[in-house]
């Protein structure tokens, strides 16, 4: 049995994401975790303890949050991407200790830097298997003991019919010479699991959950509160007896604070 864990969209450095409590900031001080971060951290370490030993760990992009220039850095707890990447390395240690091979993919430039600068640094530090001279893959086609996985960070986002983008990825895969058994995408922060017949076999497609709470951007950019992600966490894919099994190691997003009408 092959066990493959996938972690994505942790957005370390965000005030809405996990942060190591003893991590020194680039300014030399310490950051005091907010209530939401304490909640995430609790589940981060619990899942690290309870998940099985992994043959392969995949970091599928947007592991750090970056400098958030569009928000003028309002919602980052550390503005230096280098220190965000160091914090990511510290947080990942219990996961790395339970993993065999490690692979990493590029996230978005907005979060991980132009030319995947910080994704590349972090991937090298965690000992990720390189592609040519790069440690962060732009698109990873992986043969894991006969299980073919098609892995990339980005996918299209649909506010309604959220599985549409993932189903389209399955259609693209069916056009390839060698159809993937499992398609893995991230980026949208929504956990979706699809299984459909393809070339006389069942194909599985996964959109991975994030580790970031609903942000100011998510609340206001498209339609208020419509981008809430009901669960957070990671997924583990197992190949057993020729069958693919997907288990989310997940926890619920905390209840949103209902706004009251303000009396004028």
pLDDT digits (tens, 9 = 90+) for 136-154: 999 999 999 999 999 999 9
Residue 121 · residue 127 · CB < 8 Å? no
Confidence bin at 38 (pLDDT 50/70/90): very high
Among 101, 7, 6, 99, smallest CA distance to 53 is for: 99
Q: CA end-to-end span of the chain, whole Å? A: 63
Q: Which of 26-35, 181-190, 217-226 has the lowest mean pLDDT?
A: 217-226
Among 26, 184, 192, smallest CA distance to 105 is for: 184
- Name the average pLDDT for the chain: 92
Among 193, 188, 252, 169, smallest CA distance to 226 is for: 188
Classify the phi-psi angles of 143: left when phi > 0, otherwise alpha if psi is within -120 to 50, otherwise beta: beta
Among 180, 166, 212, smallest CA distance to 18 is for: 212
Vertex 242 angle, CA 185 and 99, to 5°: 55
pLDDT of residue 11: 98
Reply yes or no on whether the pLDDT at 24 is more than 90: yes
Phi, psi of 127 (to 5 degrees): 80, 30
Confidence bin at 258 (pLDDT 50/70/90): low
Domains observed in the chain: 2-140+215-252 (3.60.21)
Question: Under 8 Å CB-to-CB from 122, ≥6 apart: which residues?
Answer: 59, 63, 64, 85, 88, 89, 104, 136
pLDDT of residue 161: 85
pLDDT of residue 226: 63
Residue bearing the bigger pLDDT, 240 or 58: 58
Confidence bin at 242 (pLDDT 50/70/90): confident
Question: Each residue of 80-129: pLDDT tens digit?
Answer: 999 999 999 999 999 999 999 999 999 999 999 999 999 999 999 999 99
């Amino acid at each position: 049995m092959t066990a493959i864990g996938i972690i994505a969209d942790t957005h370390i450095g965000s005030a809405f994401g996990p942060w190591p409590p003893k991590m020194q900031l680039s300014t030399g001080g310490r950051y005091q975790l907010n209530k939401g971060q304490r909640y995430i951290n609790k589940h981060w370490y619990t899942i690290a303890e309870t998940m099985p030993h992994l043959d392969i760990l995949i970091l599928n992009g947007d592991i750090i949050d970056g400098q958030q220039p569009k928000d003028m850095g309002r919602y980052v707890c550390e503005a230096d991407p280098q220190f965000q990447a160091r914090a990511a390395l510290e947080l990942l240690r219990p996961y790395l200790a339970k993993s065999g091979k490690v692979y990493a993919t590029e996230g978005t430039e907005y979060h991980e830097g132009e030319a995947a600068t910080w994704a590349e640094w972090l991937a090298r530090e965690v000992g990720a298997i390189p592609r040519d001279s790069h440690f962060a893959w732009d698109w990873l086609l992986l043969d894991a003991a006969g299980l073919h996985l098609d892995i990339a960070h980005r996918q299209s986002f649909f506010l309604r019919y959220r599985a549409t983008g993932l189903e389209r990825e399955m259609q693209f895969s069916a056009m390839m010479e060698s159809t993937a058994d499992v398609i893995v995408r991230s980026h949208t922060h929504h956990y979706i699991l699809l299984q459909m017949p393809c070339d006389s076999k069942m194909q599985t497609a996964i959109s991975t959950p994030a580790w970031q709470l609903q942000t100011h951007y998510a609340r206001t950019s498209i339609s208020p509160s419509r981008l809430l992600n009901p669960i957070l966490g990671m997924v583990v894919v197992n190949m057993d007896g020729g069958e693919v099994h997907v288990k989310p190691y997940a926890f619920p997003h905390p209840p949103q604070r209902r706004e009251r009408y303000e009396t004028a």
